[in-house]
Amino acid sequence: MPANKKYLSSPLQRFAKISAGLVGGYLIAVSLHMLLMQWWDASGALITLQFGGFILWAVLLILAFLSKNGWKIWAAYLLLSLFFTGLVYLGKIGIL
C-alpha cells in the first residue's frame, strides 16, 4: 500500500532534513564537545565525544526528521553551533 502523498515532503525538503541531520547534527556535537574540552580535562572530553557525540548526533538526526520544515532545522542547528563556537572563542580570548 503506497503512502498518502499529503504526508510526504517535497524532495527539496527531504534533502534539507537529511543534510541538516547529518551535517548540522555533527556541527552541534563537535562544537558542544569543544566547549566541554575548554572547561574540563581535554582527554576526558575526547573520550566523551566518541560515545556521547554519536548519541547526540543520532538524536539530532532524528529530530531533523520530525520537523515539517527542513530549512528551519538548518537555521536552528547553525545558530546552536555558532553559539557554542562563540562561547569557545570567548573562552580562548579570556572573557569566559
Q: With respect to residue 42, please indicate whether it lies within any of the assigned structural domains.
A: yes
pLDDT value at residue 2 = 67
Cβ-count burial 40-61 (b if 16+ within 10 Å, e if not): eeeeebeebbeeebeebbeebb
pLDDT value at residue 50 = 81
Q: pTM of this prediction?
A: 0.85
| Number of domains into which the chain is organized | 1
Q: With respect to residue 38, please indicate whether it lies within any of the assigned structural domains.
A: yes
Expressed as residue numbers, the domain containing 64 is 13-92
pLDDT value at residue 1 = 61
Q: How far does Cα 21 stand from its chain's mean position?
A: 7
Q: With respect to residue 8, please indicate whether it lies within any of the assigned structural domains.
A: no
Q: With respect to residue 32, please indicate whether it lies within any of the assigned structural domains.
A: yes
Q: With respect to residue 33, please indicate whether it lies within any of the assigned structural domains.
A: yes
Per-residue pLDDT of the chain (96 residues; tens, 9 = 90+): 667 777 778 889 999 999 999 999 999 999 998 888 888 777 777 777 788 889 999 999 999 999 889 999 999 999 999 999 999 999 888 887
